[in-house]
Amino acid sequence: MFQLGNAVRGPRARPAASVERMLTKTFAEDLPQSADCVFAALEAVAGEHTVTARDPEARTLEFRTARSLFSWGHVVTAHVRIRGRQSSLCLTVSGVPGAPQALLDGKKNRSLGRKVLTALHAAL
């Protein structure tokens, strides 16, 4: 704490929304396959986890990974869009709502996003 004039000020806290944005990782990728093909492969990848929301018409899928010794789990949200004869994928990885935040969460979210993309490419 330090004093400035008559006001006593403490360390500044970062707003929760900006911390959440730092920890949430988003990946965007254009793929040569059709949107239906990419969505089917994405469903196969998500089959290893708990699917929490699925909308085949909008080609949107959300799933959660399991808790582990070092993680409270992750929420992965994917949107597949039609781009001509190809498709566009937007993948967002964040922590489970309400779970404590840790310093390495952003790195873990980035790592999981890359693993999901690698598994998706293998499934295609």
Distances in Å between the Cα of 54 and the Cα atoms of 3, 59, 94, 104, 121 are 53, 8, 17, 29, 20
pTM of this structure: 0.76
Tens of pLDDT, residue by residue, the chain (124 residues): 444 455 555 455 444 454 455 578 899 999 999 999 999 999 999 988 899 999 999 999 999 988 888 778 889 999 999 988 899 999 999 888 877 776 667 788 888 899 999 999 999 8
Cα 64 to chain centroid, rounded: 10
CATH superfamily of 23-123: START domain (3.30.530.20)
Q: What confidence score (pLDDT) does residue 43 get?
A: 93
Q: How many CB atoms lie within 10 A of CB 36?
A: 13
